Structures are given as C-alpha cells and as structure tokens.
Amino acid sequence: MARPIILVSNDDGIYAPGIEALAEMVAEFGDVYVSAPAGERSAQSHAITLHAHLRAQEIKPRWHAVTGTPVDSVYLGALHACPRLPDLVVSGVNNGFNLGTDVYYSGTVGAAREGRLRGASAIAFSVDYHADPRILEPTVRALVPAVLERHRDGERHLLNVNAPTAPNNPTAPPQVCRLGRRRYRDRVEKRHDLMGRPYFWIGGPADQQGDVLGEDTYAVHHGHISVTPLTIDDTADSLKTWSDEIDRRFDP
Ligand code: MN
C-alpha cells in the first residue's frame, strides 16, 4: 500500500518553530510535504487570493514558502507541490490557542479546513502562547494514525486540537469536547497619526469567565488537551422553521 501523503501548513509562517516540530512529529506516518505562508498570516481565516498572483519558493526539498494565505498554501501544496492529493493535511503547531469561536478567525483552522474541502482528512494543532509544540507529541502519535486509518476506510474527519502550556499529565488522554464560546475583553482603541487623522486598533485579551464543562475552552483552562471534531456543513437544524415561514409568507 502506498505511503500516505501528509501536507503540513500553518498560519504563523514557514519559519515558525511550530511547523518544523509538526513536520518532524508526523514524518513517521507518511511522506511529508510542507507548503506554508512565507511570513506570519495569523487570523486570515479561510481567505483565498484570487485577484493577485502567488509565488512559491522551495526553501529546502519539499518545503514551499508561499506569498499568500494559509488557504492559498494548502491549495498550492495539495494541487501542485504534492505528487497527488494528500491523504492528510495537518496545520500548526500554532503559537496560541484556537478555541471555540476562534475557529472562525483562525488561519490555522482555515488551512486544515481547506485540506478537508479538497478531500483530505485534516487536523489543526495549537498550543497556548509560547508553549512548547512538542507537548502535543503523544496526541499526534495517537490521532494521526487513527485519522489515516479512517481515511483509508473512506471516512473524512476535521479535528481541532489545543494544548495548555503545562498539561496536568502530558501522556493523559486528550478530552473530546464541543467548541466553547471564546470570550475576549473586546476593545476599540482610537489613536491619531502624525497628520492628526484617527486610526484604530481592534481586539483585546482573552477572558476565561463563563467556561462551560464539556467545552474546549474549559478543558484547556483546566490543564487538559482538547480535541474537537468539526463539520464543514454549516446548515442549521432550523430548515423546517424556515420552510414553514416561507410557505406562510408566499401563500397566495
Ligand atoms: Mn497563528
């Protein structure tokens, strides 16, 4: 049986320490190709570059630095750098959590989701800010073969994994959780440039208030590694509500 092809990407850029650690950790499970942004492209979500050209530089064998977004990197990597479509796309290890509603902003998750949309299985890995990406090693060793086995059987999965700085017990099994609601102390800061014109900084620090048991935010804030399976079908279960509503409003 052919060795699986594993495409590695991230949003912190190809020179970030986390991607090198991830590429090394998955190497035993398949043929590894790396395609990642040439620089920091965090919080790019699922952005794709369709109105400008991209360049890709092979900085070492099978490692391509792409001038675009994380999704551009996976698109190029999957359809151009890899000899065939990858079986697995892994993204990270991100420097900083991607918990709860962060998945809507995260380039790390965006890269993994792009892999899933292209028919691969995918896992996004993140650790607390400045944590050692290697704390995910036992989790990588458990999850990557499991996802690859299921992929061979025709299943497709997209997982989001987060690890706190110092897990209570790094070899303890991760907790499988729902996405939480990531709270931030939202801020809009207005400043003035040298011409006296206003400009703004948005965003604020995370807030751990209101974590709920069973959610990824709660798990990592209590010292556990979290694993959340994600779906790419955003359809809500209110189909019937809206079908009835439309029927009523269009009833002649
Ligand atoms: Mn990042």
Six-digit token string for 179: 């996405």
CA of 10 to the centre of ligand 1 (A): 7
CA of 243 to the centre of ligand 1 (A): 40
CA-to-CA separations, 103 to 41, 44, 110, in angstroms, rounded: 15, 11, 8
Report percent pLDDT > 70 for the chain: 99
Residue pair 34/63 in contact (Cβ under 8 Å)? The answer is: yes
What is the rounded distance in angstroms from the CA atom of residue 252 to the CA atom of residue 169?
64
pLDDT in tens, 39-77: 999 999 999 999 999 999 999 999 999 999 999 999 999
Residue 171: pLDDT above 90? no
Note the pLDDT of residue 27: 98
Note the pLDDT of residue 206: 85
Enter the pTM of the model: 0.95
Six-digit token string for 167: 């897990």
- How confident is the model over 140-162, as a mean pLDDT? 98
Residue 120: pLDDT above 90? yes
What is the rounded distance in angstroms from the CA atom of residue 227 to the CA atom of residue 29?
20
Confidence of residue 166 (pLDDT cuts 50, 70, 90): confident
Residue 168: pLDDT above 80? no
CA of 249 to the centre of ligand 1 (A): 46
pLDDT in tens, 192-251: 999 999 999 998 888 878 889 999 999 999 999 999 999 999 999 999 999 999 999 998
* 194-208 b/e (C-beta count within 10 Å ≥ 16 → b): eeeeeeeeeeeebee
Residue 84: pLDDT above 90? yes
CA of 99 to the centre of ligand 1 (A): 12
Note the pLDDT of residue 210: 83
CA of 106 to the centre of ligand 1 (A): 7
CA of 197 to the centre of ligand 1 (A): 30
Residue 113: pLDDT above 80? yes
Residue 10: pLDDT above 90? yes
Note the pLDDT of residue 2: 86
